[in-house]
Amino acid sequence: MQNLILNQSIQLNNGVEMPIFGLGVWKTRSGKECIDSVLNALEFGYRHIDTAKIYGNESDVGEAIKKSGIPRKELFITTKLWNSDQRNPRKYLEESLQTLGLDTIDLYLIHFPVAGTRKQAWKELENAYKEGLVRAIGVSNYTIPHLQELFEYAEIVPTVNQVEYHPFLNQNELLNTCKKNNIVLEAYSPLAHGQKISDPKLVSLAAKYGKTAAQILIRWAIDKGLVVIPKSVKKERILENSQVFDFKLSESDLAEMETWNENFRTCWDPTGA
């Protein structure tokens, strides 16, 4: 594998370049906490920020972007359409654009596959993409059956599927389905909400590489070809999470981590939705 760097990008199936590493702001409090987190990330070289309408901090992300002075074209901003908004996606997309203070959103995702509204919502996202309001469209929390259903009616194939993914929830079948259909799989909660940081297997591997447990988890996702968006509000952790490009896991250690799966889910379970 080539040597990767912090702002390494992957080309989506529509040609748009998406940084493989970013900052997630789920459960980051609106106001100073979120603004400072985004500003710190941008200071450390992050150029990819992931938010959502339901997080309640789109305005803070927009404020931080403005304060940073970084040219808009250098940034990649993702936001998401919430469940209750799927009956009127255009309205809520325009609200997100206004709240973020942006003319376009780089990636707009259906946040969750709500039965009864997800099909029409996808059609509306396709229209928004055609109109240039968004540079790419995708989904989040879609399982293989959800994707198979979507393929039956989609005119435009999603560029991204964002799901919970870490060694303790290793969704290889989903990853393979996405690869087969040229969809990038993006890992949210790559640190399993910190609930596995003290796992002896992980602690041992971190000691071997002279890295933190979090850095091992992030590097694992990167080495699997995922886009990864770890969340932190602490300045030192935001920096630490980005310091994963000066090493890579050996093939034997990657293989070992493949055996760690416990179907351990820390967020929503979309199965059956």
Q: What is the residue extent of each domain of the chain?
A: 9-260
- Please indicate whether residue 55 is annotated as part of the active site: yes
**Distance linking the first and last C-alpha atoms of the chain:** 37
Q: Are 60 and 31 in contact (CB under 8 A)?
A: yes
Structure tokens at 259: 């055996």
Quote the distance between the C-alpha of residue 119 and its chain's center.
Answer: 22
Instruction: Given the residues 55, 129, 142, 165, select the one marked as catalytic.
Output: 55
Q: Distance between CA atoms of 64 and 126, rounded to whole angstroms? A: 29
The pairing of strands 9-11 and 17-19 is antiparallel
The pLDDT assigned to 4 comes to 75
| Exposure string for 5-16, b = 16+ CB within 10 A, e = fewer | ebbebeebbeeb
Structure tokens at 147: 């994707």
Q: Does 111 belong to an annotated binding site? A: yes
pLDDT 10s digits, 200-255: 999 999 999 999 999 999 999 999 999 999 999 999 999 999 999 999 999 999 99
Nearest CA to 162 out of 12, 7, 8 is that of 12
Who contacts 123 (Cβ-Cβ below 8 Å, separation ≥6)? Answer: 153
Q: Distance between CA atoms of 172 and 220, rounded to whole angstroms? A: 13
The pairing of strands 227-228 and 184-188 is parallel
pLDDT band of 5, cuts 50, 70, 90: confident
Residue 268 reports pLDDT greater than 90 = no
Three-class SS of residue 61? helix
> What class has domain 9-260?
alpha beta
pTM of the model: 0.96
Q: How many CA atoms lie within 13 A of 232 on its CB side?
A: 21
